[in-house]
């Protein structure tokens, strides 16, 4: 793609930004785009053999700024491998891996990913949190939130709640609530030009202006939700200053209690990636301020502040535990509580500084209220796919391991029934090289496939 395909107003803006390196910047549009994947620690820890096989099979080379990130060449197709279905990695543009590295979320924290779909940064955050703490992963668009929830499940994340809300709706419910916030803002996408020529068509100076206005609206809500002492990472995949440095300047001017910790640009001609901007700011204050601003203190007195009714949840959860005693004896819930949505039983994660209140939950669209444990059928429990993905084979009473290159795993991922020993009965965790991919139920010599229909690959 030559310079002539780029909008003239974009090129002239870049003259100022790229300065002496403008020619190299424009030349980068003639080079192929970069491809990357990031290992999911929730799966890769303890799966050394699978990781070694993955690295060699796809000839992966490390991304310098992300310990779990790797480049692969365009001819490779890691999205089609059973390890992808097993959530061993997430396909992510390499420079986008910088944002969560710079935010640096920690196990045990309360973290918000405010514009999260399809889930690249959410899965990176969850990988770093190692299942400890609470992650609220929000996406404003319902269809994108559904894809986000699917990715959260594939990656085996058990401590994330996926919400579908506008930022102001969240800010009303969760003031001064989060230790860290990732705001990967909707932007004019100048860093997408190589990957998606459609982004060139859509770009205009008016779009930059519109995006900047929207970013400012979202930033103000993010500020409200940040705890004193908390950190916010603001990122975009665009280059212009209006959506990047100028947005950070405006933030610092508007909120004197914010301090800039780091700010970095990733350029397609200087680093191997499509380009990204990341700034990390901290809200001054700390532990003592949290007593005034923490979630528990924002509950109104009386009815609205009470917890959701527990009884039906508890009954359903007891039934689930009975099922688990037989079929998933190693099941250990994270800190949290059961929650029932109709016939769907979830485990709603909480932590030492966070207990969900009825007021926070009421009216909030929650496509995934934590770990989906089970579907309640008339007289029985049917374990949820998400539970399989968040389990380890040693926790299950029965697991069946299929090699990643076997025809059986391909058949299972297509949704087919597999033949099994006639003596073999009950819920079985199907794994590939030790990594769970879903449930099967064995009876009369057949393993009935319980992979959700939407996840079955047609290959
Ligand atoms: C850059 S994308 C997020 C990518 C995601 N963080 C990831 O790593 O996979 C920005 C997201 O912001 C969402 N969005 C659009 N308008 C928004 C708004 N007004 N408030 C919050 N999010 C918005 C878009 O739907 C989109 O999913």
Q: What is the pLDDT of residue 46?
A: 93
Q: How many other β-carbons are positioned within 10 Å of the β-carbon of residue 357?
A: 18
Chain-centroid distance, C-alpha 348: 17
With the most atoms of ligand 1 within 8 angstroms of its CB, the residue from 92, 115, 235 to mutate is 115
Q: What is the pLDDT of residue 196?
A: 86
Q: What is the pLDDT of residue 304?
A: 38
Contact 69, 271 (CB under 8 A): no
Per-residue pLDDT tens over the stretch 147-171? 999 999 999 999 999 999 999 999 9
164 is catalytic: no
Residues whose CB is less than 8 angstroms from the CB of residue 63 and which lie 6 or more positions away in sequence, other chains included: 36, 38, 69, 70, 71, 94, 97, 272, 273
380 and 423 together in one domain:
no
Q: What is the pLDDT of residue 352?
A: 86
**Domain of residue 140, residue span:** 95-299+364-369
Q: What value does the mean pLDDT take over residues 359-386?
A: 95
Ligand 1 midpoint to CA 121 (Å): 11
Q: What is the pLDDT of residue 288?
A: 43
Q: Which residue has the tokens 């970013």?
A: 215
312 versus 142: which is more confidently predicted? 142
Q: What is the pLDDT of residue 273?
A: 96
304 versus 96: which is more confidently predicted? 96
Atom 14 (ligand 1): residue with closest C-alpha?
A: 186
Q: What is the pLDDT of residue 311?
A: 83
> Residue 459: which pLDDT band, with cuts at 50, 70 and 90?
low
120 and 155 together in one domain:
yes
Per-residue pLDDT tens over the stretch 184-203? 999 999 998 988 888 899 99
312 and 356 together in one domain:
yes
Binding-site residues for S-adenosyl-L-methionine, in ranges, read: 115-121, 139, 184
Q: Report the alpha-carbon distance of residue 401 to residue 431 in Å, rounded.
A: 5
179 and 313 together in one domain:
no
Q: Is 8 contained in some domain?
A: no
Q: What is the pLDDT of residue 287?
A: 58
Q: What is the pLDDT of residue 2?
A: 60
Across-strand partners of 232?
181, 281
The closest of 392, 364, 382, 368 to 308, measured between CA atoms, is: 364
Q: Is the CB of 144 under 6 A from ligand 1?
A: yes
Q: Report the alpha-carbon distance of residue 152 to residue 123 in Å, rounded.
A: 7
Q: What is the pLDDT of residue 5?
A: 81
Whether 218 has a pLDDT exceeding 50, the answer reads yes
259 and 122 together in one domain:
yes
Per-residue pLDDT tens over the stretch 323-365? 999 999 999 988 999 999 999 999 999 988 899 999 999 999 9
279 and 165 together in one domain:
yes
Atom 10 (ligand 1): residue with closest C-alpha?
A: 186
402 and 270 together in one domain:
no
Q: Is 54 contained in some domain?
A: no
Residues whose CB is less than 8 angstroms from the CB of residue 172 and which lie 6 or more positions away in sequence, other chains included: none
410 and 381 together in one domain:
no
Per-residue pLDDT tens over the stretch 311-334? 889 999 999 999 999 999 999 988
Mapping DSSP onto H, E and C, the string for 369-402 reads CCEEEEEECCCCEEECHHHHHCCCHHHCCCEEEE
Number of domains into which the chain is organized: 3
* Whole-number Cα distances in Å, 6 to 32, 93, 274, 298: 16, 21, 15, 50
Ligand 1 midpoint to CA 440 (Å): 35
What are the DSSP calls for 329-370, one per residue?
Answer: TT----SEEEEEETTEEEEEE-BTTB---HHHHTT---SB-S
CATH code, domain carrying 146: 3.40.50.150
Average of per-residue pLDDT values in the chain: 92
Q: What value does the mean pLDDT take over residues 196-215?
A: 93
Choose, from 66, 187, 211, 237, the residue flagged as catalytic.
237
Per-residue pLDDT tens over the stretch 269-309? 999 999 999 999 999 997 544 433 333 333 333 333 444 45
Mapping DSSP onto H, E and C, the string for 32-100 reads CCCEEEEECHHHHCCCHHHHHHHHHHCCCEECCCCCCEEEECCCCCHHHCHHHHCCCEEECCHHHHHHH
Q: What is the pLDDT of residue 94?
A: 98
377 and 415 together in one domain:
no
Whether 209 has a pLDDT exceeding 50, the answer reads yes
């Amino acid at each position: 793609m030559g310079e002539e395909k780029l909008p003239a107003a974009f090129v002239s803006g870049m003259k100022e930004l790229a300065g002496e390196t403008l020619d190299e910047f424009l030349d980068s549009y003639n080079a192929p785009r970069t491809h990357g994947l990031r290992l999911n620690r929730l799966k890769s820890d303890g799966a050394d053999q699978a990781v070694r096989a993955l690295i060699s099979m796809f000839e992966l080379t490390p991304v310098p700024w992300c310990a779990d990130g790797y480049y692969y060449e365009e001819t490779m197709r890691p999205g089609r491998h059973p390890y992808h279905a097993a959530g061993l990695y997430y396909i992510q543009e390499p420079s986008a891996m910088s944002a969560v590295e710079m935010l640096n979320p920690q196990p045990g924290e309360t973290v918000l990913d405010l514009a999260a779909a399809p889930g690249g940064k959410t899965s990176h955050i969850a990988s770093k949190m190692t299942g400890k703490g609470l992650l609220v992963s929000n996406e404003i668009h319902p269809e994108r939130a559904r894809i986000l929830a699917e990715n959260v499940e594939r990656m085996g994340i058990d401590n994330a709640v996926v919400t579908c809300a506008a930022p102001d709706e969240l800010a009303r419910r969760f003031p001064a609530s989060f230790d860290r916030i990732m705001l990967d803002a909707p932007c004019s996408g100048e860093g997408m030009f190589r990957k998606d020529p459609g982004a060139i068509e859509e770009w205009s100076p008016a779009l930059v202006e519109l995006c900047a206005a929207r970013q400012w609206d979202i930033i103000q809500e993010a500020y409200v939700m940040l705890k004193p002492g908390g950190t916010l990472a603001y990122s975009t995949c665009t280059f212009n200053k209006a959506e990047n440095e100028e947005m950070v300047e405006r933030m610092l001017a508007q909120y004197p209690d914010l301090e800039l910790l780091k700010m970095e640009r990733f350029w397609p001609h200087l680093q191997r990636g499509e380009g990204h901007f990341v700034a990390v700011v901290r809200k001054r204050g700390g532990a003592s301020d949290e007593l005034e601003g923490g979630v528990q203190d924002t509950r109104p007195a009386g009815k609205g502040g009470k917890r959701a009714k527990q009884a039906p949840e508890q009954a359903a959860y007891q039934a689930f535990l009975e099922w688990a005693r037989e079929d998933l004896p190693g099941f250990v819930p994270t800190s949290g509580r059961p929650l029932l949505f109709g016939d769907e039983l979830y485990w709603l994660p909480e932590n030492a500084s966070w207990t969900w209140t009825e007021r926070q939950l009421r009216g909030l669209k929650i496509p995934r209220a934590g770990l989906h444990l089970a579907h309640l059928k008339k007289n029985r429990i049917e374990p949820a796919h998400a539970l399989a993905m968040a389990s380890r084979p040693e926790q299950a009473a029965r697991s069946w391991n299929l090699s990643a290159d076997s025809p059986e795993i391909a058949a299972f991922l297509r949704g087919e029934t597999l033949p099994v020993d006639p003596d073999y009965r009950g819920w079985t965790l199907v794994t590939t090289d030790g990594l769970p991919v879903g449930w099967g139920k064995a009876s009369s010599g057949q393993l009935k496939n319980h992979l959700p229909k939407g996840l079955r690959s047609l290959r």
